[in-house]
Amino acid sequence: MKKDAKIYVAGHRGLVGSAILTKLMEQGYTNLVYRTSKELDLRDKGAVDEFFAEEKPAFVFLAAAKVGGIVANNEYPADFIRDNLLIQTNVIDAAYRNNVEKLLFLGSTCIYPKLASQPLKESYLLTGELEPTNEAYAIAKIAGIKMCESYNRQYGTKYISAMPTNLYGPNDNFDLKTSHVLPALLRKFHEAKESNAPFVEMWGTGTPKREFLYSDDLADACVFLMNTYEGNEIVNIGVGDDITIKELGEKVKAVVGYEGDIQFDTTKPDGTPRKLVDVTKLNGLGWKATISLEDGLQKAYQWFLENELTTAK
């Protein structure tokens, strides 16, 4: 991407899009376009068509999506499949009709089969059944990947798809009902410390393993891929290491400085037992994550303290 190329970041207020926008600014890209969801509802095809015809971006980071943690995915599958299919279909097709040079689509590691062997290689896609709690979301994301591949095959476009592992960082969703585990734990442990609560309740058994990537690292990888990767195959983005949810709880507890206990609510779902991504391909292309979980947790907690506590929820 030339530094003055017009780049559209879809979803620039979210965890992923905000990190990509910041990264592009840091790297000296000057012609950035973005819209809030109020200004442009990406589920509305007419509005998306109008936006692309008017702005004619050369590059698109498709980071807009309806996302949520395990319980939100499980309770609102219709919203997850509908909104994601609409957003990605409208954006990818408008990109094609408006001659976008290159588009990066963001998937998720929940697209891989629930019981696939670990670490998850890109080739495991569509080799087994999905995790039921997020099947609707995963099917939408798989459709997005296949849409990019199909447009490349039929129309000769250059659309690439990246599969990030579980993410965290600034502008995350800290709502306890709908968030992912890491932001939820930052809030839960912080509030327990403030109120001197005797214990924090975590969901499930604590035995599932997850890998966590800081959003700034993800953004760096996305800009790197946009600039260097031309392939039709998906690319995993992760750190190559995971921990149990219980271990995550202990780490968050230490970062927050909470001294009570942890209890597990086993009526809540565990989800996939493990989803560690194989990052051989990304490392081979020349990119590696640099932010450790310890450093990332400190940064995320700091961000939470400075931004989230002042926002009414």
* 291/94 Cα distance (integer angstroms): 35
Provide the mask over 148-167, with x wherever binding to ligand GFB is found by CB under 6 A and - wherever it is not. Answer: ------------------x-
Burial of 257 (0-12, 13-18, 19+ CB in 10 A): exposed
Give the relative orientation of helices 181-194 and 293-303 as an angle to the nearest 10 degrees. Answer: 60
Tell which one of 8, 137, 258, 287 touches ligand GFB (CB under 6 A): 137
Residue 163 or 291 having the CB closest to ligand GFB: 163
What is the 3-state composition of the chain as percent helix, strand, coil, each rounded to the nearest 5? 45, 15, 40
Min CB(313)–ligand GFB separation in Å: 15
Residues contacting residue 285 through CB under 8 Å, at least 6 positions apart: 224, 225, 228, 229, 235
Residues contacting residue 229 through CB under 8 Å, at least 6 positions apart: 160, 235, 285
Residue 227: alpha-carbon gap to chain centroid:
20
DSSP 132: G
- Residues in the interface with ligand GFB (CB under 6 A) total 26
Tell which one of 6, 12, 23, 180 touches ligand GFB (CB under 6 A): 180
Residue 73 or 89 having the CB closest to ligand GFB: 73
Question: Which residue among the candidates 137, 151, 168, 258 is catalytic per the annotation?
Answer: 137
Residue 99 or 207 having the CB closest to ligand GFB: 207
The one-letter amino acid at 271: G
137 a catalytic residue: yes
* 115/151 Cα distance (integer angstroms): 30
Tell which one of 203, 214, 229, 287 touches ligand GFB (CB under 6 A): 203
Provide the mask over 239-278, with x wherever binding to ligand GFB is found by CB under 6 A and - wherever it is not. Answer: ------x----------------------xxxxx------
Tell which one of 113, 204, 238, 240 touches ligand GFB (CB under 6 A): 204
Q: Does 10 sit near ligand GFB (CB under 6 A)?
A: no
Task: Give the 3-state secondary structure of residue 60.
Answer: strand
Q: Does 79 sit near ligand GFB (CB under 6 A)?
A: no
The response to whether 190 counts as a known ligand-binding position is: no
Residue 95 or 181 having the CB closest to ligand GFB: 181
Active site residue ranges: 137
Binding site: residue ranges?
11-17, 106-109, 141, 164-167, 180, 188, 203, 210, 270
